[in-house]
């Protein structure tokens, strides 16, 4: 385009004028009507007052095609990078996150005392493999300590139970020693005195009378002198058994002292009156056969509690007097 705005080339457009707006932007770019236009002013080397313009124009689609190609390439590159990053993330999750999650789940199982906890021992990542081996060792140590603690608790419980049973048995033995005669197994004199006092208080409060039997083995000194004290002890033991088997479950049998026994009868109504019970005892002893000795007899004194008794001594005195009368009357009898 010459200085006046006429087209010089191409020949097909020669003579046409360019819009002044396009010529007013030398060395610039403009867009319009779907084209990109660029113009450059070129001064004439021989005449400074003469200027030409070189103008280039292209459709926008053609001019921007390289930019679009670059954009598509960048998008494709971004997509490829996203896929690569996704694969890398998946690989990292598979090799790092998931094994760590499995370790965490197994540790949770151990914490909740659930079976089946497994820690991986081998892994491409050395730290995860070391962590799995460490957790396995720690778990085995904890389980071993827990088993030892359970065994210790079981042993301790068994020991406590055994000690409790032993203590209970010891207390029972002590109570029996305190209340029973060591030789014959029936109640001793101390427990008899307590029981006699209880029956006396009950009699004074309710009027419910009771009876006392004093039983003495006849000629027992002769047995000791003839056969020895060991045989005499056997005779006393058999006498205690005979008396207990002949009396009722509610009756109270005790060794009063030496070869003498005492029986408290809380029920004295017919048909088991004190005289009847005493006669049963006398007859049972008379008909029994004692090893080595043969036959032994007993004398029995019977006394019944009376409202005029101020204490137990009066009852004991009457029973003792009746026992004396039985012996004076020939022994082997009830008075």
Percent composition of the chain: helix, strand, coil (DSSP 3-state, to 5) = 55, 15, 25
DSSP state of 114: -
Query: Is residue 148 among the annotated active site residues?
Result: no
Sheet architecture: strand order including 51-59 = 28-32, 35-43, 51-59
Phi/psi for 93 (5° steps) reads -65, -40
3 state SS of 18? coil
| CA–CA separation, 303 and 297 (whole Å) | 20
Q: Which two tokens stand for residue 149?
A: 């603690």
| CA–CA separation, 205 and 199 (whole Å) | 10
The answer to whether the beta carbons of residues 117 and 139 sit under 8 Å apart is: yes
CA 124 to chain centre: 42
Which of these is catalytic: 11, 148, 198, 259? 259
The answer to whether the beta carbons of residues 286 and 295 sit under 8 Å apart is: yes
> Could you list the active site residues?
259
């Amino acid at each position: 385009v010459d200085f006046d705005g006429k087209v010089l080339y191409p020949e097909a457009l020669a003579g046409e004028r360019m819009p002044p707006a396009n010529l007013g932007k030398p060395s610039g770019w403009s867009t319009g009507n779907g084209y990109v236009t660029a113009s450059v002013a070129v001064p004439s080397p021989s005449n400074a007052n003469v200027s030409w313009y070189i103008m280039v124009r292209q459709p926008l689609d053609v001019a921007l095609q390289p930019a679009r190609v670059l954009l598509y390439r960048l998008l494709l590159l971004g997509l490829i990078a996203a896929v690569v990053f996704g694969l890398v993330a998946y690989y990292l999750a598979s090799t790092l996150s998931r094994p760590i999650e499995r370790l965490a789940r197994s540790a949770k199982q151990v914490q909740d005392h659930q079976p089946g906890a497994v820690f991986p021992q081998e892994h491409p990542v050395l730290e995860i493999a070391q962590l799995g081996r460490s957790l396995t060792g720690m778990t085995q140590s904890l389980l071993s300590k827990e088993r030892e603690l359970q065994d210790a608790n079981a042993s301790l419980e068994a020991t406590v139970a055994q000690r409790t049973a032993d203590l209970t048995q010891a207390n029972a033995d002590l109570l029996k020693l305190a209340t029973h005669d060591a030789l014959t197994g029936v109640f001793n004199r101390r427990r008899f005195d307590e029981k006699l006092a209880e029956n006396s208080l009950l009699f004074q409060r309710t009027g419910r009378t009771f009876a006392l039997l004093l039983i003495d083995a006849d000629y027992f000194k002769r047995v000791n002198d003839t056969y020895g004290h060991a045989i005499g002890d056997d005779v006393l033991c058999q006498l205690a058994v005979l008396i207990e088997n002949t009396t009722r479950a509610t009756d109270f049998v005790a060794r009063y002292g030496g070869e003498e026994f005492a029986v408290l009868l809380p029920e004295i109504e017919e048909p088991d009156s004190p005289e009847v019970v005493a006669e049963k005892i006398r007859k049972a002893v008379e008909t029994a056969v004692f090893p080595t000795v043969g036959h032994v007899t007993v004398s029995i004194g019977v006394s019944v509690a009376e409202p005029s008794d101020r204490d137990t001594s009066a009852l004991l005195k009457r029973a003792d007097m009746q026992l004396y009368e039985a012996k004076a009357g020939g022994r082997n009898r009830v008075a």
